[in-house]
Amino acid sequence: MRLSVTEKIQKLKRERNAVILAHNYQSAQVQDIADFLGDSLELAQKACGTHADVIVFCGVLFMAETAWMLNPQKTVLMPDSEAGCGLAEMISAVKLRKLKADHPDAVVVCYINSSAGVKAECDLCCTSSSALTVVESIENGREIIFVPDKSLGRWIEEKTGRKMILWDGYCPPHHRMLAESIERRKKEHPGALVVVHPECTGDVRRMADRVAGTGGILRFCRENPAKEFIIGTEPGMAYRLEKEIPGKKFIPAVPGVICRNMKKTNPEKVLWSLEDMKQKITVEPDIARRARKCIDRMLDVTAKAQTE
């Protein structure tokens, strides 16, 4: 009997003792074959806790790098290793070192959407869901450098009252979500609540009923009694929402604004990666050692906050 792509993947997963982790922005077909879906923080935590020997990471490069740095004894496969991140590519370790030289006493916080080389230059890492907790953990009066997302950085400033030195980086898909688009959707769906990602621009965030990372968007839509939501983030998120929260309607704010890198992975590439055990992701040892410190500090800070 001829096996389907999904059946072949399941068979190879058992043989390799593999687990498939997928970000919320992945295509519906990839989400359906994943063992675990999540935002960047949830995927980092899952990578730490897995007993699998092989992690197949369906996301973008910085995520797979993070998974390997947290699990250097495991094999981390990325079905399409060309899936980068436009935001992460807006800063480099060299550029960050120059900024640090101008502010030698600053605490350096990087968004997880950055390369391992940039993380190696930082004191703390954060995700969109952990950003407020991470910044609030820094003692008052300390100068803070935040890279690379200026929109996320400005949202953190608004919520915490902490002023930071912001890098001029941004997420191209989220910056293509305009306030006019949100207004148009609200007129089409007058009873819908607006939920947007903090990577969106300030004028879009100010129109929202809730600003949150993808994990927070999921929780808000599940817990809120409203029946319609306008979702201001990558449209892949709407598929997970529809699947896990039946009976509610989720309207992408701008359906055509997709992250092309997130959509590079497909089930066939997952299968090929498992068949050949190729597209292995590793990080140079010294960079990994230094970058791991800021990731561990993030995980420690968030774990402590969850127990308080």
DSSP per-residue codes, the chain: -PPPHHHHHHHHHHHHTEEEEEETTS-HHHHHH-SEEE-HHHHHHHHHH---SEEEEES-HHHHHHHHHH-TTSEEE-S-TT---TTGGG--HHHHHHHHHHSTT-EEEEESSS-HHHHTT-SEEE-TTTHHHHHHTSPTT--EEEESBHHHHHHHHHHH----EE-SB--HHHHT--HHHHHHHHHHSTTPEEEE-TTS-HHHHTT-SEE--HHHHHHHHHHS--SEEEEES-THHHHHHHHHSTT-EEEESSTT---TTGGG--HHHHHHHHHHT-SB----HHHHHHHHHHHHHHHHHHHHHHH-
Mean pLDDT of the chain: 95
Note the pLDDT of residue 308: 66
Note the pLDDT of residue 304: 84
How far is Cα of residue 233 from the mean position of the Cα atoms in its chain?
A: 12
The least confident of 38-47, 165-174, 196-205, 293-302 is 38-47
Note the pLDDT of residue 45: 83
pLDDT digits (tens, 9 = 90+) for 239-250: 999 999 999 999
pLDDT bucket at 44, cuts 50 / 70 / 90: confident
Question: CA-CA distance, 64 to 70, in Å (whole number)?
Answer: 10
> Which has the higher per-residue pLDDT, 255 or 111?
111
Question: CA-CA distance, 289 to 251, in Å (whole number)?
Answer: 42
Residue 1, pLDDT above cutoff 80? no
Tokens 């792509």 map to which residue? 5
In the predicted model, what is the mean pLDDT of residues 63-73? 93
Residue 307, pLDDT above cutoff 80? no
**What percentage of the chain exceeds 70 in pLDDT?**
99
pLDDT bucket at 42, cuts 50 / 70 / 90: confident
Backbone angles phi, psi at 149, to 5 degrees: -95, 110
pLDDT digits (tens, 9 = 90+) for 195-226: 999 999 999 999 999 999 999 999 999 999 99
pLDDT digits (tens, 9 = 90+) for 81-109: 999 999 999 999 999 999 999 999 999 99
In sequence order, what are the beta bridge partners of 232?
Answer: 196
Note the pLDDT of residue 193: 98
Question: CA-CA distance, 108 to 229, in Å (whole number)?
Answer: 36
pLDDT digits (tens, 9 = 90+) for 123-169: 999 999 899 999 999 999 999 999 999 999 999 999 999 999 999 99
- Are 94 and 120 a contacting pair, CB within 8 Å? no
Note the pLDDT of residue 2: 84
**What percentage of the chain exceeds 90 in pLDDT?**
92
Q: What pTM does this model have?
A: 0.93
Domains with residue ranges and CATH for the chain: 5-84+262-282 (3.40.50.10800), 88-170+287-307 (3.40.50.10800), 177-252 (3.40.50.10800)
CA distance readout (Å), 143 to 22, 53, 117, 133, 158: 35, 41, 22, 17, 16
Note the pLDDT of residue 123: 98
